[in-house]
Amino acid sequence: MVVLSSDHAVRGQVAAAVATRPGTRAVYVTRDGVAGWRPATADRVVVIDDEGFAGAEALVREVKARNGEVRIVYLAAEHSLGLEREARQAGATWYAVKPAAGRDLERVIQTLLRA
């Protein structure tokens, strides 16, 4: 799985979810590294945190175009109905407003990894 986020809380929840799945690993890409990152066809789950990242919805489209089976978790720093609609229409599997309350993100990732 790939995590496009610099947020330590997001990374911690992902790490906890991945720890429950032997053989699964998480690759973390910071905002600065997103420009050079391209989705791989082997990526099963991609977490996109849009905080400080313009054009994250376009990245959802790119990831889905590369691998239609990938499950995308979109975390919105600032929610709007328009953004949610764009993210979902682009192919986001799960959309949430940051911060994801409690361990919700961890549970969602565990569910997506089992699917």
> Can you tell me the distance from the alpha carbon of 59 to that of 38, in angstroms, rounded to the nearest whole number?
9
Helices (H), the chain: 8-19, 31-34, 56-66, 81-90, 104-114
Domain boundaries, the chain: 2-114
pLDDT in tens, 55-114: 888 889 988 888 888 899 999 999 999 999 999 999 999 999 886 556 788 888 888 888
Kindly state the greatest CA–CA separation across the chain.
Answer: 38
> Can you tell me the distance from the alpha carbon of 18 to that of 24, in angstroms, rounded to the nearest whole number?
6
Stated pTM of the model: 0.84
Query: What pLDDT was estimated at residue 102?
Result: 61
Query: What pLDDT was estimated at residue 39?
Result: 67
- Please state the CATH superfamily assignment of the domain spanning residues 2-114 in this structure: Response regulator (3.40.50.2300)
Query: What pLDDT was estimated at residue 62?
Result: 86
Instruction: Tell me the pLDDT band of 28, cut-offs 50, 70 and 90.
Output: confident
